[in-house]
Structure 1
Amino acid sequence: MSTKVRTADTRERILTAACEVIADIGFEKIRMRMVAERAGVSTALLHYHFDTREKLFTEAMTHSFANTAVDLERDAETAPAAVILARILRNLLPTDPELHQDWRLWQELWVRALRDETTRVFAVDLYAQLHGWVSDAIRRGITSGEFTPTDVDDLSTLVLSLSDGYGIRLMLRDPTVTLDTALTSIWRHVSTALGLPAAVPTE
């Protein structure tokens, strides 16, 4: 195995471990030693790759974000636009253990963004990328004739806002909200705006 490959593998293990530890106990409580132990590396090696907790946190968020992007891009050019858009909606909610962990990371990001300007700018940039995922899927469907034309930016903002609102209540285990009701409610707004069937598409 080349040095470059080993380095990439080590960074991957560290970032995966960082995501897990931050989601488990929160950013304010983590110590670099905890992440190193979870990743199976020395603290010195961890500091070699990430010299501060803040840099590790930012890279961990980016890592988590990138993994979600890979799933969203799967067969994106060949699947029906409605299927891709529904997939995005599912990925915006805590629909499985991995996305539940991602949501815990997002909640840590929101808290830090309220107190730290660098983190705030980073969070706004990540939201811009989320907006891009949703709006690109909508535009693709409009261009192909699958969707009724609409105000793309306005609908994308609504989708993200609804996803955040329902996602928070799901994370709080609010007994009045379920994944099915959240997804169905969000899709109702989407389907009305885009002239689509009321049923949420499956893969």
Structure 2
Amino acid sequence: MPTKVRTADTRERILTAACEAIAEIGFEKIRMRMVAERAGVSTALLHYHFDTREKLFTEAMAHSFANTAVDVERDAGTAPAAVILARILRSLLPTDAVLHQDWRLWQELWVRALRDESTRVFAVDLYAELHAWVSGAVRRGIESGEFTPTDVDELATLVLSLSDGYGIRLMLRDPMVTLDKALASIWRHIAGALGLPETVPAD
């Protein structure tokens, strides 16, 4: 196996292990040795790729987001714009086990961002990426004629804000909020702004 491939595979295993460990026990309790053991690598090799816990944490967050985005946009050039936007909405909520883990990571990020300036800046940058992701999907739909023109940035901000609010309630297992209700409620705002049916599109 070529060196570059081995290196990429090692980083992938480490980042996957870091996401799992942070989601399970929290960033403050995590130790580099724990991640190394879970990834099946030596502590020295882990430190070669990530010299601090903070760097490992930020890379794990970016890795988690990137993997979700790739899966959602796998056929963005051929699928209806409403289907892609509905996929994005589902990915912004804890709709399955993987996204439930992602939400735990986000909650760790929020807590750390309140106490650490570099993490706060990183969190704001990640939100900018999420905003660009949502707004990009909306703009593609407007340009293709599938969506009614609207204030794209305002809609993207609303979608992210509603997703955060509902997502927190879902993570708390609040009996007043179900996943279906959350999806339907957010989609109604999207549909109203873009001239779409109020039923969330099936994938």
Q: TM-score range by the shorter chain?
A: over 0.9
Following the alignment from structure 2 to structure 1, what is the Cα–Cα distance between the partners of residues 87 and 49? Answer: 34
RMSD: 0.7
1:92 matched to which residue of 2? 92
Which consecutive unaligned segments of at least 5 residues does structure 1 have?
A: none
TM superposition shift of 1:71: 1.1
1:125 matched residue in structure 2: 125
Task: Deviation per CA, 1:1-42: give whole Å up to 9, x if none.
Answer: 011111111111010000000000000000101001100111
Aligned residues with identical type, % of pairs? 87
**1:191 pairs with 2:165:** no
Supply the distance in 1 between the matched residues of 2:139 and 2:48 (Cα, whole angstroms): 43
Using the alignment, how far apart are the partners of 2:137 and 2:58 within structure 1? 26
CA distance in 2, matches of 1:41, 1:91: 30
Q: What one-letter code is carried by the residue in structure 2 that aligns with 1:40?
A: G
- Specify the alignment match of 1:67 in structure 2: 67
Distance of 1:159 and 1:4 partners within structure 2: 39
Whole-angstrom CA distance in 1 between matches of 2:141 and 2:43: 48
Paired residue type of 2:157: T
Paired residues, number? 203
Q: C-alpha distance in 2, partners of 1:82/1:95?
A: 18
**For residues 14-93 of structure 1, what are the structure 2 equivalents within 5 Å?**
14-93=14-93
1:85-111 deviation digits (Å, cap 9, x = unpaired): 000000000000000000000000111
Structure 1 segments of 4+ aligned residues over 4 angstroms from their partners: none
Return the offset for 1:72.
2.1
Instruction: Kindly provide the amino acid, as one letter, of the partner of residue 94 in structure 2.
Output: P
Distance (whole Å) between structure 1 residues aligned to residue 8 and residue 139 of structure 2? 35
In structure 2, stretches of 5+ residues that fail to align are none
Give, in whole Å, the separation in 2 of the partners of 1:141 and 1:134.
11
Pairing 1:11–2:25 present: no
Aligned match of 1:158: 158
